[in-house]
Amino acid sequence: MQSTTFHEHEVLHRLKHFLPAQAPLKDFIHHNTLHAFQNISFQEAIKQATEIFGYKTSLTIDEYRVLLASGKIKDEVLREIIIRRKGSKDVNFWMKKLLHEAFIKTKIPRVGMVRAYWKNTYRLDLDAMVHPTLFRILCSYLDQGIAMWNFPVWHKGFLSSIREMERSSFTSFFKTKYVKQLLLDGKCGIEFLLDKLVGDPALYEHYLFDQQFAHQGWSGMVSAIEDNPDTLLDHRKISIHDLITFELLLELDALTHQLGKSWKPLGKIIADRPVNLFAEVPTSELSEAIMMFQEAYEWTYYNAVLGGLQRQEQVTEKTGRSFQAMFCIDDRECSIRRYLEKFDPTCQTFGTPGFFGVEFFYKPEHGKFLTKLCPAPVTPKYLIKEIEGRSKQQKDLHFTKQTHSLFRGWLITQTLGFWSAIKLFINIFRPSVSPATATSFRHMDKFSKLTIENHNPNHRENDLQVGFTIEEMANRVEGLLASIGLVKDFASIIYVVGHGSSSVNNPHFAAYDCGACSGRPGSVNARVICHMANHKQVRNILALRGIEIPDITQFVGALHDTTRDEVVFFDEGSLSDENKLQHTRHEQLFSIALDHNAKERSRRFEIINSALSPEAVHDKVRLRSVSLFEPRPELNHATNALCIVGDRSLTRGLFLDRRAFLNSYDYRIDPQGKYLFSILKAAAPVCGGINLEYYFSRVDNQKLGAGTKLPHNVMGLFGVANGIDGDLRPGLPNQMIEVHDPVRLLIVVQHYPEVVLETIQRNVETYEWFINNWVNLVVMHPETKEIFVFREGELHPHEQFSNSPDIVTDLELLVETHQENLPVYLIA
C-alpha cells in the first residue's frame, strides 16, 4: 500500500480507520476492538494485528496447554479440528507440535520501527519530550468541566486556537522561535513538516502511524470526537489533521531545541527500510496452532451447550398464564428469568433487545440535552419528553470547584474537611446511596409523565417529532410482538422490563447499562412501549393486522437494576382492580426471584458468603453497589459466550450460568425470515461487539484493554489515564474482564437452514460478521433438531457431540460452592 508518493487525505483516512474508536466515557458502547480488520477473517485479522501493531490477540500457547490439561479443551475436539484443517494424516504430527513445540517468540511489531531511529541515532527520547505537553494541551482543550479556568480560545478549532494564543502571548508552548513562527505563518502543512522531519515520502505513512500509535488512546479520542462532535456536550472542534500538525511541530521544536542544526531527517539516516506496515503477513505455524487451540477451546464449550439444547423438550403451549414478561436479551437477565419461571411455572418470559423496538431521543425534565435511547447506529426521528418530574440532582460539595480555590478552600478545608472524615468513615462501615452514585433509577422519575403520543405531526422540537402517531405506535408494537412470537395467548399482565445498573466510583458506568439503549437504562423505553401497547386505538389497528390483544390485558413497564437486583414498576396506578390484585402477588414473586438471583451472582463475589439466605445475600449485594471501595459492583457481561435466537423452551431447562444472550423468536410466524433478519442485523454487531470487546480486553489487557482501574485518573470527564501524564486507556479495565473466558460468540438460530442461509446474506455488513467468523453461527432445525454449522459460506451438518451435559439437582448448592466459570447443566 505504501508508495513513493504521499496522499495525505488517504493516509489520514486509513489512520483513523485503525485507531481505537471508543467514544467518551459517558457514551461508552461496546464494539469490536479490531473493527478495522472486520473485512478479513478473524484468523487472518488476529495474525495481522499482532504483526503490525503488536497486539496480543489470543491466549498464549502455554495458556491453551493449561486449558487442555485441565479439560477445558477436550482432546478429541482438538483432534477433530486438526483433521478438518490438516487432514487425518497429520493429526499426530500436529498434536505433538501443539503439545510440545517451543514456538518462536513474537517479533517486534512493525508500527514504531521508523520513529525508533530518533532514539537509536540521536539518543533522543522524543516521546518523553513531546507527550506530556501534547497530552496536557489536548486534555485542557477538550475538557468537559474539570478545570475551573477553561482553554481561553476554543471556538476556532484546535490548531487555530493555539495559533491565536501563541500570537498574543509573552510565553509559548514551543521552545524555539523558529517553530513558533512556522505555526504563526501558517507554514505547517503536514507534508511540509514531514519533509523536514522525515524527508522521504515513502516513509511518511509509516512515520505517522508510528507517531499516532505511540499514543493511540488520545488519537482515538480525537478521531472519535472529529467524527461525532455531539458526543461532547460542550462541543469542541478538533481533527486528527490538527493533532498531527501540532505534534509534528512539537517534534520539530524538540529536535531543533536539543540538536540545533546537527541532525538529518530520518529518510537520510535509515539505511535498511523497515517492512511496509501493510505488507503481506506470512502465515506461521504459531498462528495456525493458535487458531486450532482457540477453535478447540470454543467448540469444547459449544458442544456441551448444543447437546443441552437438543435435549430440551418442546413444551406444548399452555393456557392460563399468570403473567408474561419481556426482558432485554442481555446475558445478565438470563438468570432472573430462570428464577421467575422456577417460582411460578405458569409464567412466560421473553427476551428482546432492551429498547423494545422504540427508538427516540429522550429529554428529561430540566435537562439541557437530548439522550439517545436506541442502538447506537440508529438515528431516531422522535423525541420523548419527561414532564412533571422531580429534580434528579443532589449536590455534594466535595465535587465542587470551590474546594480548589485558595480562600474558599481555606474555609472549606477547616469545616467540610472534618465532615469528609466522617463521610469516609460512614461509607466504609455503612455504605449508602450518595450524590456520587450513578444509579439507574435516577434516569427517569417514576412519577413523571412522558409525552408519548403525537397529536400533530407539526409538533416538533430540535428538528424531531415530539411523540409517535397512532400508526407509528402500532407499527412498533406489532414489530415487537411478532419478533418475539407473542401474537396470541396473552396473559392479563405483560411486564416489559428494561434494565440499568448502579455503581459508585466507576468512570465506566455507561458500559454497565443497556447496550441497546446506547449505554443508558431502559426504563423510558419500557414505559413508552407499554403506553403504546395499552392504547385503545393502537390495539384496534393491531386487531386488524391479526394481533388481538384482549381488553383485560395490560402492559406494565419496569426497570431492573442489575447491580442491586431491584425492580421498579411504572404506572401501576392505571391497572384495573383485578390486575392490581394480581400485580401485588407478582411483585412478591419478583422480590423472591431477585433475592435468588442476587445469591446466584454472589458466588463470584469474594467478600459475600454465598451460603447465607437469599435475603441476607441480597442485602450485601445492595451494599456492595454503593461501596466506594468496590471496583467490581457487578461483573457486567463477563463470561458472555452465547446468543440463542429461538423459543424459550430451548433453554428453559438449562443452567447457562448467565453466559447467554437470549432472543425470543418463533420461526413459525416468520417463514420468510423477515423478523429474523432484523434480529440478526442487531444481534451480530451488538452481542458480537460486546463479546469481542471482552475477548480482546481479556487477551491483551494492557494494549487493547484499560489495565487495572485502581490507578486510573479521570481526564477531562471523557477518558481515563494512569497518572497525570499518561495516554488515555480505551477498552475495558482488568476488573471487568478477569473472569471472562475468551471465546467468540456462538449464535444459535432455531429455523430451517435454507431460510437462515438466505437471511444472513441479505445485508453485506451483517454477513461480514458471519462469513469472516467474527461470530460463530449454528442453525438448529426446528423439527429434526439437527445442528448445522456455518462455515465458509455454507451450512454443514454437525455431528460431533454425543455427550449430554451433566444434570444438576441442587442449584443452590452449586452456587454456594463454586466460584469459577461453570459448564452448562441440565436442571433436574
Partner 1 sequence: MEIYLQIFIAIPLIGFLASLLAPSAKEALLSRIAFITVGLNALMVTLFIVAWIIQGRATLNLRDFVVFRSANYEFLIDFCFDKVAAVYLMVGSILTFLVTIYSRYYLHREEGYKRFFNTVLFFYLGYTIVVLSGNLETLFIGWEILGISSFLLIAFYRDRYLPVKNAVKVFSIYRIADVGLILAMWLSHHLWGQNITFVEFNNEALVNAQLQTHAMVGILVSLMILISAAAKSAQLPFSSWLPRAMEGPTPSSAIFYGSLSVHIGVFVLLRTFHFWEHQLFIRILIGAVGLSTSLVATGIARVQSSVKSQIAYASIAQIGLIFIEVAAGFDNLALFHFAGNAFLRTYQLLVSPSVVSYLIREQFYNFIPRQHTIEDSLPKKIEYTIYMLCLKEWNLDAILHRYLWKSIKWAGNRLEFLQVRGVLIFLFTAGVTGVLAVVYKQSIPDFLNKSLPYAFGLIGLIMVFKAFTKRKNVQLTLLLIVANHFMIALAVSFNEHFSFDHILIYLSGIVVSGLLGYLAILRLKMLEPLVDLERFYGYSYEHPRIAFTFLLACLGLAGFPITPTFIGEDLIFSHIHDDQFVLAFIVALSFIVDGLALIRIYARVFMGPHVKSIHEMAYRSS
Distance CA 604, CA 634 (A): 9
Distance CA 47, CA 283 (A): 8
507 part of the interface to partner 1, by CB under 8 A: yes
Q: Which of 312, 708, 772, 821 binds partner 1 (CB under 8 A)?
A: 708
| Of 178 and 369, CB closest to partner 1 | 369
Q: What is the largest CA-CA distance in the chain?
A: 89
| Of 83 and 628, CB closest to partner 1 | 628
347 is in an annotated binding site: no
| Of 512 and 569, CB closest to partner 1 | 512
DSSP labels, 534-554: H-HHHHHHHHHTT----TT-E
CB of 510 to partner 1, least distance (A): 9
CB of 610 to partner 1, least distance (A): 16
DSSP state of 707: B
| Of 281 and 416, CB closest to partner 1 | 416
Give the residue among 333, 364, 365 at the shortest CA–CA distance from 349.
333
Residues 1-60 that bind partner 1 (CB under 8 A): 25-26, 54-56, 60
Determine how β-strand 449-450 pairs with β-strand 382-387: antiparallel
| Of 426 and 581, CB closest to partner 1 | 426
Q: Which of 700, 757, 801, 805 binds partner 1 (CB under 8 A)?
A: 700
Give the number of other CB atoms < 10 A from CB of residue 586: 20
509 part of the interface to partner 1, by CB under 8 A: yes
| Of 110 and 476, CB closest to partner 1 | 110
Distance CA 32, CA 28 (A): 13
Residues 94-133 that bind partner 1 (CB under 8 A): 105-109, 127-128, 131, 133
Could you tell me the three cell numbers for 357?
A: 423496538
Q: Which of 39, 121, 314, 413 binds partner 1 (CB under 8 A)?
A: 413
| Of 180 and 527, CB closest to partner 1 | 180
Instruction: Please name the residues in contact with 237: beta carbons below 8 A apart, sequence gap of 6 or more.
Output: 155, 156, 157, 158, 229
Q: Which of 436, 616, 795, 826 binds partner 1 (CB under 8 A)?
A: 436
Provide the terminal-to-terminal Cα distance of the chain, rounded to the nearest Å: 59
CB of 169 to partner 1, least distance (A): 4
Residues 790-819 that bind partner 1 (CB under 8 A): none
Residues 223-262 that bind partner 1 (CB under 8 A): 233-234
Q: Which of 176, 276, 322, 505 binds partner 1 (CB under 8 A)?
A: 505
Q: Where are the alpha helices (DSSP H) in 437-469?
A: none
Could you tell me the three cell numbers for 467?
A: 411523540
Distance CA 527, CA 449 (A): 10
Q: Which of 137, 444, 482, 556 binds partner 1 (CB under 8 A)?
A: 137
Choose the stretch contacting partner 1; rule: CB under 8 A; options: 65-73, 96-104, 545-553, 621-629.
621-629
- Return the residue matching grid coordinates 466515557: 25
Q: Is 124 exposed, middle or buried (0-12, 13-18, 19+ CB in 10 A)?
A: middle
**If residue 629 lies in a helix (H) or strand (E), which one and from where to where?**
none
Residues 623-662 that bind partner 1 (CB under 8 A): 627-632
Distance CA 2, CA 14 (A): 12
Instruction: Please name the residues in contact with 585: beta carbons below 8 A apart, sequence gap of 6 or more.
Output: none
Q: What is the dihedral of CA 638, 639, 640, 642, to 10 degrees?
A: 180
| Of 106 and 314, CB closest to partner 1 | 106
168 part of the interface to partner 1, by CB under 8 A: yes
CB of 520 to partner 1, least distance (A): 12
393 part of the interface to partner 1, by CB under 8 A: yes
143 is in an annotated binding site: no
| Of 192 and 418, CB closest to partner 1 | 418
Residues 302-361 that bind partner 1 (CB under 8 A): none
Distance CA 258, CA 474 (A): 70
CB of 211 to partner 1, least distance (A): 11
| Of 149 and 316, CB closest to partner 1 | 149
Choose the stretch contacting partner 1; rule: CB under 8 A; options: 10-18, 428-436, 558-566, 749-757.
428-436
62 part of the interface to partner 1, by CB under 8 A: no
328 is in an annotated binding site: yes
**If residue 684 lies in a helix (H) or strand (E), which one and from where to where?**
helix 674-699
Residue 681: half-sphere exposure toward Cβ, Cα within 13 Å = 16
499 is in an annotated binding site: yes
**If residue 306 lies in a helix (H) or strand (E), which one and from where to where?**
helix 285-310
Q: Which of 169, 462, 588, 672 binds partner 1 (CB under 8 A)?
A: 169
Contact in structure between 643 and 660 (CB atoms under 8 Å): yes
Q: Which of 66, 279, 424, 581 binds partner 1 (CB under 8 A)?
A: 424
Give the residue among 328, 172, 393, 302 at the shortest CA–CA distance from 686.
328
Distance CA 301, CA 277 (A): 36
Residues 173-202 that bind partner 1 (CB under 8 A): 173
| Of 227 and 396, CB closest to partner 1 | 396
Residues 67-96 that bind partner 1 (CB under 8 A): none
Binding flags for partner 1, 458-497, as an x/- string (CB under 8 A): ----------------------------------------
Distance CA 134, CA 251 (A): 10
| Of 269 and 717, CB closest to partner 1 | 717
Q: Which of 71, 87, 145, 189 binds partner 1 (CB under 8 A)?
A: 145
701 part of the interface to partner 1, by CB under 8 A: yes
CB of 380 to partner 1, least distance (A): 19
Give the residue among 451, 332, 313 at the shortest CA–CA distance from 386.
451
CB of 223 to partner 1, least distance (A): 17
DSSP labels, 35-98: GGGTTS-HHHHHHHHHHHH----S--HHHHHHHHHTTSS-HHHHHHHHHHHH-GGGHHHHHHHH
Q: Is 528 exposed, middle or buried (0-12, 13-18, 19+ CB in 10 A)?
A: buried
Size of the site for partner 1 (CB under 8 A): 117
Binding-site residue numbers for Zn(2+) are: 328, 330, 499, 514
Binding-site residue numbers are: 328, 330, 499, 514
